[in-house]
Chains A and B, each alone.
Chain A
Amino acid sequence: MIKFENVTKKYDDFTALENFDLEIPTGCAYGLLGTNGAGKSTLLRILSGVYKADAGKVTIDGENVYDNASVKQKLLLISDETSQFNGMTLLQMKKFYKTFYTNFSDETFERLNTIVNLPVNKKLGGFSKGMKRQAAVICGISAKTDYLFLDEAFDGLDPSMRSEIKKMIIDAMCDNNMTVVTSSHNLHEIEEYCDTVGLLHNGKMIFNKDLGDLKGNIHKVQCSFEKEPSKEDFPELEILLIEEKNGLTNIIAKGSADETLQKIKVKNPKFCDLIPLSLEEIFIYEMEALNYDRTKLL
């Protein structure tokens, strides 16, 4: 269990995190979203014990992380930069991680590398950005830590490789009950395997929800009425958006699918149909409901 309690982190005059609270249960795949400078990397660095919080408490399994070697043994951070390994070959990189992580599995490493097929004796400096990231991820997964933190882990990966890496992470989570926290500014990247997402903005968590709940609790209904309806015509519904386009009315509302349809049908639409929403759309509408300008959030 990861716990942030009233955490504040400042860089001189800039506040990266302010009175931040968060709980991530064990085994969760948590997606951390936000624009550049939102505080995602800071959060991950504090979580990994690289940075020390100016105020508040950060614990993993009830223990403080900063300067705590035994807790750090349970976690591994794959940073957004991998150039520090440029001088190493993949084998040396593996050896490096194996030095510090007692559970490192050679077998897993070999298995994962057969998937990505990276040259083991070539210096990482000669790898492409995507290959370096693959190397970091396969080493990170092979370390078999309880917690894996990935900072912009999918940057520079092509779609097929992105999918492979995601699959690797999902497998690792299933095999080891690993808790994964992934930061990204792209919702699509984490949609497939994260079960909870949080949205950071200006050092504050403005949104933190289970993805299943989120998807199940917001729906888009396309319908047609004799007369253009307004929000006030549906007082029982928590409508996030209502708009008319080419004679069709789109209603985005919170609540279960059946309940939403039922409440709309009461108004005798000419037709009424439930349309699937992408996670991005759900996010946008949620944010707009919270009076945030979505263009500034993602």
Chain B
Amino acid sequence: MTERSSCKSFFKNYLIYRIKAQQMNLILCCIMNILALPLFVISQKKGYSNQPSDFYFIGRILSVISGFTLIILAVYGAVLSFEYYNKKNLTDTVGSLPLSYKQRFLGDLLAGYIANVAPVIPCGLISAVIFAGAQNKFESFCIEKDFSGTVFSTFRLALCMAFSLFIALTFAYLFTVFVSSACGKHFHSVMFSIFGIFALSGAAAGIAGCFAAGMLGANTGEYMNRAAAFVPPLGSLIDLSKGIRFLCGDFELFGSKPMTDVGIGDIFAAANVLNIVYFVILGVGIVFGAFYLGKRRKPEKTGSSFAVKPVFYVISSLMSAAAVFLMIVMLVKSNSGFGKRYITAAVAGVIMCVVSSVIYLPKLKELPRCILCSFAAIGVSVGLAALLNATGSFGYRYLPDAENIEYLKINDSYTITDKEDIKKYIEKHNEILRDKRSFLIHGYFYSLEYRTSNGKITKLSYGESLMSEGNPIQKMEKIEECLAGYGKYFFESFSDGFDDWSCSIIDENGTYDIPEQNKAELIAVLREEAEEKYDPDAEKYARVEFRRMNYGTKSFFIGKNLERTIAFLGDMNGTIEKDPNKLVLMIDYIISKKVDGQHSINSRCMQIRVRNKDMDKVLVKELIGLLKNTNEGSTDYGVVLGDNEWAFEVFYKNFSDSTRQYYIPRENSKRVLEIMTELALEDLE
């Protein structure tokens, strides 16, 4: 009994000693968490009312940096916790202490975890409480699309960020412990942990991407994100363009819903039993793996690059495989040839093999084995990718019989029940499956859900196709538009050869081509629709959708509510004459009720200028001249009224956003609106 008690006491003492040894890390981790969590919460905001867009961008960049810093900190903390794996003098001291291996391992594991990961929980709670407490200030600071604005929501959002960060840091830490158990130097422990983390996520995402592109012809981004989420810690970090997305929603690993549909801050989605069981099993598995490796490693290997060499071969092979798969997915996107695609991917794999070997610096006699392993991984990866791409098999080619289909749901929104229409869709869908081509990877994707009379649901998702390919999936895209309001005209295009597709409608979601013969009818439909929706009430204006139309090189503004646009602008002109101050209030009202994302009515109206080079430059220049700080605006020839009622935003010719803003002096607002009206009318002619 005494011996057991003293063993426990030694363990406790050792734990305390190890935590104290990492007290600097603990302090740093707390500071970073306190700084990072608010940034994560803010970076999830979809829009701002009173802040320039630069702030939003910087917020995201900072959140990415702080997220990675925390992960690096967790990685380095894990290496420090098991420092005696890398330092010979410590190996002697620690190895001879009266502790069993189990006690030592657990002590180091827990101490490092407490110092480098655990602070995220109290810091997260503090952050959540502060956010909840500072609710009013926070809300005036930014407006969140999915954020209802209640105290509970803010609290929950912050808590979810903390929870997600906790998952990411936990796995960064555990994975590093695993890798460190196999390494013998600090440098190699850190480098190969980071490589391993990226390689794991990269390989998972790459395989999923090849699977989606090759076998399903589907939206690869969705599959890649979901696959990456299965291999923390990077998970949702993989999509860096969206910033750090430690969204709990993204952790709904086993859910059937697309990840993008899972609500922000839905802690209950993240805390579902399957997710928790999965993460617990994964975590325990890694801990056991690290325990086993640590036990297997020879202490005398401390100071050499790898104490357990197979781990190097695994990481190196993973790096090569990840490079191969990701390169193939990238090349699928660029529609390169079959041979070029696989040769380039293999070269990427070889580069990774060289990188890992240069870092490892194996002995000359080990070099053939290193090369052999990586080359085997490259060969298997290329072979698997080619197989996926070539066969398109594995049971995803089945579509139910049109006769048995109860309904077809597109993008979880539009339901078709008409048997004839369903038949046409099935024909086209089969064409896609037969085609077995690879498709683009953009986030915008289409899902087709067939429900048969026996209740069975078959749901397939597809990505945006390459327009140049003229792929049948391109036609499927139009189905959505068709059902969104202009259906029958698009639907007819299914049977044509696409030779006359020189017209397109462009909106914020992309470009939709329109057959020549449907153009006039389409405009008529749009007008009709606009008529139906017309309401002089300002709030209704804000809800109106706009469309622009390209025909050859000429651009048209053919918004569904074109007349209302004109009416609205005229109305505003009238208002200014009566009471200039009222206009401000009116626009402000519209903006605060903004429902269609980036731009207000005014900005949409002015977007015509960007596309049409034949527009009246005199008017545009005059318009610009009415603004402050107009130097850059005048060279761009594109001025768009931004989100702010007094802000203009420049859009470049390639339609990319500009962060520059131009403020309308109050005294010039009347003339600005006159010019806008004039330009719109000119366009109509």
Same complex origin of A and B: yes
With contacts A69-B7, A70-B3 taken as known, whether A79 is within 8 angstroms of B89 at the C-beta atoms is: yes
With contacts A82-B89, A99-B13 taken as known, whether A51 is within 8 angstroms of B101 at the C-beta atoms is: no
Total of A-B residue pairs, C-beta within 8 Å:
72
User: Which residues 285-306 of B have a CB within 8 angstroms of A?
Assistant: 298-300
The answer to whether A48 touches B95, judged by C-beta atoms less than 8 angstroms apart, is yes
The answer to whether B96 touches A76, judged by C-beta atoms less than 8 angstroms apart, is yes
Q: Which of B87, B91, B99 contacts A69 (CB 8 A)?
A: B99
A43 on the B face (CB < 8 A): no
Q: Which of A11, A51, A52, A73 contacts B98 (CB 8 A)?
A: A73
The answer to whether B98 touches A101, judged by C-beta atoms less than 8 angstroms apart, is yes
User: Which residues 51-90 of A have a CB within 8 angstroms of B?
Assistant: 51-52, 67-70, 72-73, 75-77, 79, 81-84
The answer to whether B300 touches A11, judged by C-beta atoms less than 8 angstroms apart, is yes
Instruction: Give the size of the chain A interface in residues (CB under 8 angstroms).
Output: 28
B435 on the A face (CB < 8 A): no
B92 on the A face (CB < 8 A): yes
With contacts A69-B10, A99-B17, A102-B6 taken as known, whether A81 is within 8 angstroms of B88 at the C-beta atoms is: yes
Q: Which residues of chain A are within 8 angstroms of B7 by Cβ–Cβ distance?
A: 69-70
The answer to whether A72 touches B89, judged by C-beta atoms less than 8 angstroms apart, is no
Distance to closest chain A CB from B84 (angstroms)? 9
Q: Which residues of chain A are within 8 angstroms of B96 by Cβ–Cβ distance?
A: 45, 48-50, 72, 75-77
Give Cα A212 to B92, complex, Å. Answer: 32
Output the nearest chain A residue to B103 by Cβ-Cβ distance: A69
* Complex interface bits, B592-616 against A, C-beta within 8 A gives 1, otherwise 0: 0000000000000000000000000
Output the nearest chain B residue to A41 by Cβ-Cβ distance: B92
Output the nearest chain A residue to B83 by Cβ-Cβ distance: A84
User: Which residues 64-98 of B have a CB within 8 angstroms of A?
Assistant: 87-93, 95-98
Q: Which residues of chain A are within 8 angstroms of B103 by Cβ–Cβ distance?
A: 69
The answer to whether A67 touches B14, judged by C-beta atoms less than 8 angstroms apart, is no
Distance to closest chain B CB from A154 (angstroms)? 17
A100 on the B face (CB < 8 A): yes
A292 on the B face (CB < 8 A): no
Output the nearest chain A residue to B3 by Cβ-Cβ distance: A70
Give Cα A45 to B101, complex, Å. Answer: 15
Instruction: Give the size of the chain B interface in residues (CB under 8 angstroms).
Output: 25
With contacts A69-B103, A99-B13, A99-B14 taken as known, whether A49 is within 8 angstroms of B95 at the C-beta atoms is: yes
A234 on the B face (CB < 8 A): no
Give Cα A100 to B6, complex, Å. Answer: 9
Q: Which residues of chain B are within 8 angstroms of A83 by Cβ–Cβ distance?
A: 89
Distance to closest chain A CB from B281 (angstroms)? 28
Distance to closest chain B CB from A262 (angstroms)? 51
A225 on the B face (CB < 8 A): no
Distance to closest chain A CB from B660 (angstroms)? 52
Give Cα A69 to B95, complex, Å. Answer: 10
Q: Which residues of chain A are within 8 angstroms of B334 by Cβ–Cβ distance?
A: none
Distance to closest chain B CB from A129 (angstroms)? 13
Q: Which residues of chain A are within 8 angstroms of B87 by Cβ–Cβ distance?
A: 84
Q: Which of A69, A75, A79, A101 contacts B93 (CB 8 A)?
A: A79
The answer to whether A72 touches B92, judged by C-beta atoms less than 8 angstroms apart, is no
The answer to whether B89 touches A84, judged by C-beta atoms less than 8 angstroms apart, is yes
Distance to closest chain A CB from B96 (angstroms)? 4
Output the nearest chain B residue to A54 by Cβ-Cβ distance: B298
* Complex interface bits, A276-294 against B, C-beta within 8 A gives 1, otherwise 0: 0000000000000000000
Output the nearest chain A residue to B101 by Cβ-Cβ distance: A67
B100 on the A face (CB < 8 A): yes
The answer to whether B3 touches A50, judged by C-beta atoms less than 8 angstroms apart, is no
Give Cα A76 to B100, complex, Å. Answer: 15
Question: What 20 new A-B contacts, CB under 8 Å, besides A51-B298, A52-B298, A77-B96?
Answer: A45-B95, A45-B300, A48-B92, A49-B95, A50-B299, A51-B299, A52-B299, A68-B100, A70-B3, A70-B98, A72-B97, A72-B98, A72-B99, A76-B96, A79-B93, A81-B92, A99-B10, A100-B99, A101-B98, A102-B6
Interface pairs A-B: 8 shortest CB-CB:
A50-B95, A81-B89, A48-B96, A79-B92, A73-B98, A72-B98, A77-B96, A99-B13
Chain A interface (Cβ within 8 Å of chain B)?
11, 42, 45, 48-52, 67-70, 72-73, 75-77, 79, 81-84, 96, 99-102, 151
- Contacts A/B (CB < 8 Å), 18 sampled: A45-B95, A45-B299, A49-B96, A50-B91, A50-B96, A51-B300, A67-B100, A69-B10, A72-B96, A72-B99, A73-B98, A77-B93, A79-B92, A82-B89, A83-B89, A84-B90, A100-B10, A151-B92
